[in-house]
């Protein structure tokens, strides 16, 4: 490798045009393979291009075709195992179709999402996959430019009512209900839920909670609604002190779970709806010297390789991350190719995997 | 969102040129802000551009400036937690500097790496960060075009002797030696190592192993050399049956560790140099009903959130993943900005974190 900073790029269309003694546009038409050029001129241009070692580049092609063969992907955090798995799926399907992927993280900030969308529109990506940072009922004015330019958009992992685009999500509500019902079936009636919505004060009751969820992320809200569904079906009263109302990070989960465990009527089981929620719950239990499942039964979300080799192996709701990514890219590429099929929401099934982290309720 | 497929793009430079009655090149010079244009012509062009609602896009800017403000990142697997963490660091530093990131996975295949490099050169990225899939002594002819075009390149996580580019890696050899010495300090002399190099037959002895490592990934090789260093310093003879020689995935690790555990002189401790190696070892122990650390002491690599909440909490070598990514992007951006500093290898320190997965050797 040379560390020489001077670039020696492929000759430009202008240089080919000068060598062939024709205009730039004629060269572009000839090398781009569109429009009409006389055979004689065409031969002269191809000879000049060959002589100069011209190699068409993607930027020149983009100028003529309007395509960049690049997809933009906007996620919460590319370092998060769930989104890393999804990105791998998107990436695999995009490569397969000859597309590349520009990826941007929002850290769940709508402002960062707006900035990311602006970047992708400016880069003229052919399509955008977005895991929105906004709540399910919010409006997203930063997507107006995407619609106006006719750039295909697919929502990923989360729905937003005001955005009529294709979407690929999982059945969070049903999968969560099933997980909580597995706890109830073992006699648990005091079941902690990590993560609840971030609020200044806890929800007063289940109806208040449902109202709050209108402003929460769709996926978070659905998981909590699944929890409420399971409680209601079993006739178990909702207790707001068993639902965390903190920012979504492991430290906050640990603190919130420590708070639950200090209640006089502490939970006997916890449903943790993200990896960080589960590790936070485990950390809190460790600090209090509580064992799983003897003292507290646990069910997590996402089946990482760790979950099944822990002591005890963790029962989890497993999301098809790679498939979610592949299907998102496929939907997006179909739109890029001009599909005018009706807008559709694709719902993939998560599966509940029962292992050894749930025991019958002792109390 | 409209699902209308027809695009309504910003007017092109050609349309502005036609409206202003000047040539394309003059418009490009004026809107690109370079070269000289008469004030009168300039005013006419700006008026036409405003009239048509012209908004310069990044492709047009790239045509004039030769910059795409995009970095290419080529990793083994973006879905792997280590590389996801590194990518997040690269992404953060790139965003900070106004650059975006195209990411491609190689699955440790040199062919896929060559294809990825070709894509990135074609896309005219401003710089490339590469975690090479090739062994430390291999030649990489697919990087010739990168050198020829003068595209800045930074090696990430792994060195290749034949590539004289900046590199950002961690001190794998010293960190691994330290981890193995922690096992030796507890009386362990039969220490398994997962992952060794993939070979048709196991290395005959330590010298043979060192020769094999010339063709292995730099990072894998360094970790194994650190293991050999520790054994040598302690006067412990090398036993090839304690080093896995299988493909790097969890299933193969599980099988290989089951093989070790079946030896009449089985290991009393295992050093697992990747997350999948550690979970594979734990799975093998679980299948054999062996407990950590009572039956087998364990040290892993990478400090995921799981490692510290397991029973027992795992002792690990923690790599500064995010910092590795940030520093890689910073090195690359310095070269993009024209730095002609001598080529440098930056070595970040991994830290050994002692927890409860190591106990004194019983046998």
Q: How many structural domains are present in chain A?
A: 3
- Alpha carbon of B244: minimum distance to chain A alpha carbons (Å): 20
Q: How many CB pairs under 8 A join A and B?
A: 190
| pTM for this entry | 0.84
Nearest residue on chain B to A342, alpha-carbon basis? B3
Q: Are residues B194 and B310 in the same domain?
A: yes
pLDDT band at residue B4, thresholds of 50, 70 and 90? very low
User: Which member of B63, B105, B306 has the closest CB to residue A306?
Assistant: B306
Q: Is the pLDDT of residue A40 over 50?
A: yes
Residues from chain B contacting residue A4 (CB–CB below 8 Å): 150
Q: Which of B65, B82, B107 is the last residue of a domain?
A: B65
Residues from chain B contacting residue A143 (CB–CB below 8 Å): 1
- Alpha carbon of A294: minimum distance to chain B alpha carbons (Å): 14
Q: Are residues A243 and A337 in the same domain?
A: no
Of the given ranges (A342-346, B46-50, B179-183, B355-359), which has the lowest mean pLDDT? B46-50
Tens of pLDDT, residues A143-179: 999 999 999 999 999 999 999 999 999 999 999 999 9
Q: Are residues A204 and A296 in the same domain?
A: yes
Q: Mutate which of B87, B123, B194, B302 to disrupt the A interface (most A C-beta within 10 Å)?
A: B123
CATH at residue A84: 3.40.50.2300
pLDDT band at residue B46, thresholds of 50, 70 and 90? confident
Residue B2 lies in a domain: no
pLDDT on residue B175: 97
Q: Are residues A281 and A302 in the same domain?
A: yes
Residue B334 lies in a domain: yes
Residue A19 lies in a domain: yes
Rounded to an integer, what distance in angstroms lies between the CA atom of residue A202 and that of residue B139? Answer: 61
Pick from A106, A167, A162: nearest CA to A138: A162
Tell me the mean pLDDT in the region A1-30.
Answer: 67
pLDDT band at residue B64, thresholds of 50, 70 and 90? low
Task: Note whether ipTM > 0.85 here.
Answer: no
Residue A183 lies in a domain: yes
Residues from chain A contacting residue B123 (CB–CB below 8 Å): 58-59, 70, 100
Q: Are residues A299 and A211 in the same domain?
A: yes
Structural domain containing residue B250: 172-320
Tens of pLDDT, residues A97-151: 999 999 999 999 999 999 999 999 998 999 999 999 999 999 999 999 999 999 9
Residue A246 lies in a domain: yes
Rounded to an integer, what distance in angstroms lies between the CA atom of residue B310 and that of residue B274? Answer: 16
Q: Are residues A254 and A209 in the same domain?
A: yes
Question: Which of the pair, A6 or A188, is modelled with greater confidence?
Answer: A188
Q: Are residues B293 and B243 in the same domain?
A: yes
Q: Do B3 and A148 touch (CB under 8 A)?
A: no
Q: Is the pLDDT of residue A336 over 80?
A: yes
Residue that the structure tokens 């100069």 belong to: A52
Residue A310 lies in a domain: yes
Q: Which of A23, A46, A65 is the last residue of a domain?
A: A65
Q: Are residues B120 and B217 in the same domain?
A: no
pLDDT on residue B56: 58
Tens of pLDDT, residues A102-113: 999 999 999 999
Percent of chain A with pLDDT over 70: 91
Q: Are residues B182 and B251 in the same domain?
A: yes
pLDDT on residue B1: 38
Q: Are residues B329 and B311 in the same domain?
A: no
CATH at residue A33: 1.10.260.40
Q: Which of A36, A65, A94 is the last residue of a domain?
A: A65
Q: Mutate which of B3, B86, B121 to disrupt the A interface (most A C-beta within 10 Å)?
A: B3
Q: Are residues A202 and A268 in the same domain?
A: yes
- Alpha carbon of B349: minimum distance to chain A alpha carbons (Å): 21
Asked if B225 and B214 touch (Cβ cutoff 8 Å), the reply is no
Residues from chain B contacting residue A119 (CB–CB below 8 Å): 100
- Alpha carbon of B186: minimum distance to chain A alpha carbons (Å): 24
Residues from chain A contacting residue B163 (CB–CB below 8 Å): 1
Q: Mutate which of A64, A69, A78 to disrupt the B interface (most B C-beta within 10 Å)?
A: A78
Q: Are residues B188 and B274 in the same domain?
A: yes
Residue A1 lies in a domain: no
pLDDT band at residue B351, thresholds of 50, 70 and 90? very high
Residue A154 lies in a domain: yes
């Amino acid at each position: 490798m040379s560390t020489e900073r001077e670039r020696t790029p492929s000759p430009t269309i202008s240089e080919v045009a000068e060598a062939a003694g024709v205009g730039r546009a004629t060269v572009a038409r000839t090398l781009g393979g569109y429009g009409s050029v006389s055979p004689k001129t065409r031969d002269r241009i191809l000879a000049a291009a060959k002589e100069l070692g011209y190699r068409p580049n993607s930027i020149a092609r983009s100028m003529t075709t309007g395509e960049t063969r690049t997809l933009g992907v906007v996620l919460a955090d590319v370092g998060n195992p769930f989104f890393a798995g999804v990105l791998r799926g998107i990436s695999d399907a995009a490569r397969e179709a000859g597309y590349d992927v520009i990826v941007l993280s929002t850290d769940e900030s709508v402002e960062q999402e707006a900035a990311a969308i602006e970047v992708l529109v400016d880069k003229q990506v052919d399509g955008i996959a977005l895991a929105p940072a906004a709540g399910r009922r919010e409006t997203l004015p930063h997507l107006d430019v995407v619609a106006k330019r006719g750039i295909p958009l697919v929502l990923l992992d989360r729905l937003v009512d005001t955005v009529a685009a294709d979407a690929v999500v999982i059945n969070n509500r049903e999968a969560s209900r099933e997980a909580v019902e597995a706890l109830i079936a073992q006699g648990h009636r005091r079941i902690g839920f990590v993560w609840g919505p971030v609020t200044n004060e806890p929800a007063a009751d289940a109806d208040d909670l449902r109202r709050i969820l209108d402003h929460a992320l769709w996926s978070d809200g659905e998981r909590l609604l699944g929890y409420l569904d399971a409680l209601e079906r079993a006739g178990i009263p909702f207790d707001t002190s068993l639902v965390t109302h903190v920012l979504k990070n492991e430290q906050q989960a640990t603190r919130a779970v420590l708070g639950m465990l200090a209640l006089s009527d502490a939970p006997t089981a916890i449903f943790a709806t993200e990896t960080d929620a589960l590790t936070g719950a485990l950390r809190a239990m460790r600090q209090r010297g509580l064992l799983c499942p003897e003292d507290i039964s646990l069910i997590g979300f996402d089946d990482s390789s760790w979950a099944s080799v822990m002591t005890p192996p963790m029962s989890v709701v497993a999301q098809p991350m790679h498939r979610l990514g592949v299907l998102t890219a496929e939907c997006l590429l179909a739109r890029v190719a001009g599909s005018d099929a009706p807008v559709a929401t694709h719902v993939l099934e998560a599966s509940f995997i029962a292992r050894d982290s749930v025991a019958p309720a002792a109390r």
